[in-house]
Structure 1
Amino acid sequence: MTQSVLILGGKGRIGSAVAEDILKHTQVNITITGRSPEHSLSLGERVEYLSLDLQETAKLKNAIAKSNLVIHCAGPFHHRDTQVLEICIDQGVNYLDVSDHRSYTQKALNLHEKAVNAGVTAIINTGIFPGISNSLVRQLVDKLDTPQKIHLSYLVSGSGGAGVTVMRTTFLGLQHPFTAWINGEWQVIKPYTDREEIIFPAPYLRSGVYWFDMPETVTLPLSFPTVKTVITKFGSVPDFYNHLTWITAHIFPQWLIQKHETIEFLSHVSHQMTDFTDIFTGIGVAVRAEVTGKKDGKNVVYTSTLLHENTAIAAGMGTGSIAKLLLAGKLKNPGVSPVEAALTTELFNQIVQERNIEINFQC
């Protein structure tokens, strides 16, 4: 029988990109969900639409029961509970998500043993960053005898081809300080601080990035226990967006940036601004992974970079490629795992080749 994939939040930019990648590389049927009773999507013969709010528990359980794989794209994940994941575990259905916040990541990881006992493979934080970025790190870690420090830098042009939800994610990430693993200790970091000028491949070249709260700060120290420092930084193109974001994080009163109305206002205004500047900057993404460690008794630094002209499509590739591996039975890893723990470098290399993703490696 033809397999079925359920994509929650499939009407959004990221969810649509995931669906497109799966349709291109598999023969499965897809059900995409959205909260509106009607849709305006051009659906192919292998795609159907289901009006579904995640609060409709009975309807959600029924949709999951009919699926071979569930992909959770209904962000932002800052305040999401693990209801979808728990239903998948209870019903024995494999699970992926594009979650991008530590609060959700930590709640999901707490369900690891339950997923193991159910024989369910649940892989969290898939996409581009986190996602492909994590696999770039593992690729470098596998070249070392003892990895010691990880430095990840992300750069997005304009909107990145994503929707308002991604804008919300950015502003939600500015609300609170977070902890990062530095020199073997958890240290408190203020978001959008400590600007660094990082050299990315053309066309970006030297660009500014800032501390940003990402789930990799939690998962990478767990996945690679010898690592003593994990740095995750993010920046935008054009650079004046970085300065506007810095002002939001450091000049706005804390009570104001924590209001729902403020987040909504800033998200929609930012999206309108990037819709205009996208014409000049494009909507691409650059990821730079740097791992420092020991190799044959010597200190070495390995670096890899990845570029894609459309951030949303790159995220779709990251999640869609893992979905294909799961559906084909090539990736069986019962439990709840981040990408770097679930996906081997060998499988990642297969993904890269199949999708013509160019990675530049330096040592």
Structure 2
Amino acid sequence: MNTVLVLGGYGGFGARLSRRLSEDGWRVLVAGRSFAKAKRLAAELPGAEPLVADRNADLTPLLRQHRPLLLIDAAGPFQGSGYRVAEACIAERVHYIDLADARAFVCAIGDLDERARAAGVAVISGASSVPALSGAVLAELARGMDKVRSVAMSICASNQVTAGASVATAILSYVGKPFRVWKGGMWQEGIGWRRLRRDVYAVEGRRPLRRWVALADVPDYELVPESLPGRPSVIFRAGPEAAFQVFGLWLLSWLVSWGWVDSLTGLSRWLLPLQRLTTGRVSGRSAMAVEVKGICRGVPTIRRWTLVAEDGCGPEVPTLAAQLLARDIRQGLLPVGARPAGDLLRVASFRELFAALSIKDEITTTRYEPLYRRILGQGLDRLPGPVRAMHDAIGDGGAAGTATVVRGKSGPARLIGAVMRFPPEGTHRVHVTFEEENGAERWTRRFSDRSFSSAMSQQGKFLVERFGPLRFFFSLLPDSSGLKMVMAKWSLLGIPLPLSLAPRSLASETGVEGAFHFDVSITLPLIGLIVHYKGRLALDSTEPRMSPAPAMN
């Protein structure tokens, strides 16, 4: 009988994993700092043995004494942690797996690769919902795609199982903190627990879940762009069942961003009592979703994987990857070396474990027609290639170039320009990021260190561009030289305003020598010029050509 040592083996996830490993025929060493807790769980598992172990101490004597085939670290937290446990396993030729989801910890595990190979052991980090399960799902969703443009993931957990101290510390470590997010073909800044949204999780035969989730920091931000064709943008959100908790952490995140507190990790010991006080009625339902948008055989395509877990089965999901990898190690199927777990498993293997739980997952595929194509129809195909490519958008994209800006000189013009965050006068490096979601697009234009954005959608035959409470309705006029936008009407807070008082916006887009050229001038009656900016953006020449989406039967 093979032996596995589970650090944190009696904890929230560790206890579930210990039981699973015992059912698989492992001799489980239930290890942790509390011998009493380890002993209680070990008494429930055939052949299990309790041990006292601290992941921050030297584990070498323990490994030499018990000689396990495998050690699984389910203790954490891994944020800010070193590789002391993994290094001890390598030195004693013991295979190593952890359930880490800490970005830096998981992504740098490859630094141990040479030593792990020399010792003939597998060292695997991130054997949890991310990046192990998410990586398996992404490989399935991206199969056959020419290019993946964006990846959006989210997890919502039931409050039926409360977070332990390690999980609380992990979450609070990034709330209100900046971290890198790959968007629009460049690294941009995200803030932990911002960008709240309400996601819907639906699979056939189950009641949909609607939960609030917020931006979370995970290893997938680093791993996914390099693993899929097209270097897609990545966004990951997470949240508990109770909306009150999501919004409470969102409010606290501002204290960190404003510098009033350095970090919220000191609140970790209060998070569990607070969760118990604010949980209220719980459903025992959890969910996870992964969505990719890209080009498949020339057609804009959206593929979405959704998992819904009921009857309190959600907390089993983070333990399944470690169980599957442990099986592979026991059978000698896992290559030696150190690596993240994102590309080691298949969805089919997870489904074999889902079958014994109240868990259902499914994949849906839909074809998507980009915003400008919905408005212009075949007129989009008459545009020059660079202009057409810019507007045949799905998911996320970006382009970079240069621009010159001229600003109005009058007092009112300067005030309006400041309110709208228009760039200062001069020559700028420019980067434009566009995000497509639910049929609408948000364009963020960054001129040097100044950025402003607008949201675009369709209303009938018009393209509607929204700046805060203002909405501008444009007629789009395409021809072989490019695209012109002519304002037809405008409104404030949905109230129509006289066209005679509208800003005079002259906007044109052309394609010259493989580049996208833009020229936008905005003036106001009685005030004159507000801003005039023009320039060029370089597009990716390897962008797959998209065909109009065929009609769905």
The question of a shared fold, defined as TM-score above 0.5 by the shorter chain, is answered with: yes
The 5-angstrom pairing of residues 275-314 of structure 1 reads: 275-276=276-277, 278=279, 280-309=281-310, 310=312, 311-314=314-317
Amino acid at match of 1:247: L
2:242 is matched with which residue: 238, 242, 264?
238
Which residue of structure 1 lines up, in the alignment, with residue 28 of structure 2? Answer: 30
**1:155, CA displacement in angstroms?**
1.1
What is the CA–CA distance in structure 1 between the aligned matches of 2:261 and 2:20, rounded to whole Å? 36
Contact 1:30 1:48 (8 Å CA) reproduced: yes
Amino acid at match of 1:105: V
Answer yes or no: is 1:148 the counterpart of 2:149.
yes
Contact 1:52 1:59 (8 Å CA) reproduced: no
Q: SS state of the match for residue 41, structure 2?
A: coil
Q: SS state of the match for residue 7, structure 1?
A: strand
Which residue of structure 1 lines up, in the alignment, with residue 443 of structure 2? Answer: none
**1:151, CA displacement in angstroms?**
0.8
Pair 186,215 (structure 1): closer, same or farther in 2 beyond 3 Å: same
Answer yes or no: is 1:14 the counterpart of 2:13.
yes
Q: Greater RCO between the two (CA within 8 Å, min separation 6)? A: 1
Amino acid at match of 2:95: N
Amino acid at match of 2:321: G
Which residue of structure 1 lines up, in the alignment, with residue 113 of structure 2? Answer: 112
Which residue of structure 1 lines up, in the alignment, with residue 325 of structure 2? Answer: 322
Contact 2:146 2:296 (8 Å CA) reproduced: yes
What is the CA–CA distance in structure 2 between the aligned matches of 1:341 and 1:64, rounded to whole Å? 33
**CA-to-aligned-CA distance 1:248-283 (integer Å, 9 cap, x gap):** 111357656435xx534x323321233355561244
Which residue of structure 2 lines up, in the alignment, with residue 73 of structure 1? Answer: 74
Pair 85,225 (structure 1): closer, same or farther in 2 beyond 3 Å: farther
Contact 1:102 1:214 (8 Å CA) reproduced: yes
Amino acid at match of 1:93: V
Q: SS state of the match for residue 36, structure 2?
A: coil
Contact 2:133 2:345 (8 Å CA) reproduced: no
Which residue of structure 2 lines up, in the alignment, with residue 332 of structure 1? Answer: 334
What is the CA–CA distance in structure 1 between the aligned matches of 2:144 and 2:352, rounded to whole Å? 17
Q: Which runs of 4+ in 1 moved over 6 A?
A: none
Pair 155,251 (structure 1): closer, same or farther in 2 beyond 3 Å: same
What is the CA–CA distance in structure 1 between the aligned matches of 2:186 and 2:120, rounded to whole Å? 34
Pair 54,165 (structure 1): closer, same or farther in 2 beyond 3 Å: closer
The 5-angstrom pairing of residues 263-282 of structure 1 reads: 263-264=265-266, 266-276=267-277, 278=279, 280-282=281-283
Contact 2:176 2:257 (8 Å CA) reproduced: no
What is the CA–CA distance in structure 2 between the aligned matches of 1:284 and 1:57, rounded to whole Å? 39
Which residue of structure 2 lines up, in the alignment, with residue 208 of structure 1? Answer: 212
Q: SS state of the match for residue 223, structure 2?
A: helix
Which residue of structure 2 lines up, in the alignment, with residue 229 of structure 1? Answer: 233
Q: SS state of the match for residue 55, structure 2?
A: coil
Q: TM-score, normalised by structure 2?
A: 0.60
Amino acid at match of 1:146: K
Which residue of structure 2 lines up, in the alignment, with residue 103 of structure 1? Answer: 104
Percent identical across equivalent pairs? 23
Contact 1:6 1:64 (8 Å CA) reproduced: no
Q: TM-score, normalised by structure 1?
A: 0.88
Q: Which moved more, 1:198-207 or 1:319-328?
A: 198-207
The structure with the largest alpha-carbon Rg is: 2
Q: SS state of the match for residue 110, structure 1?
A: helix
What is the CA–CA distance in structure 1 between the aligned matches of 2:340 and 2:144, rounded to whole Å? 20
What is the CA–CA distance in structure 1 between the aligned matches of 2:191 and 2:239, rounded to whole Å? 15
Contact 2:110 2:338 (8 Å CA) reproduced: yes
Q: SS state of the match for residue 112, structure 1?
A: helix
**1:175, CA displacement in angstroms?**
5.2
Unaligned runs of 5+ in 1: none
The structure richer in strand per residue is: 2
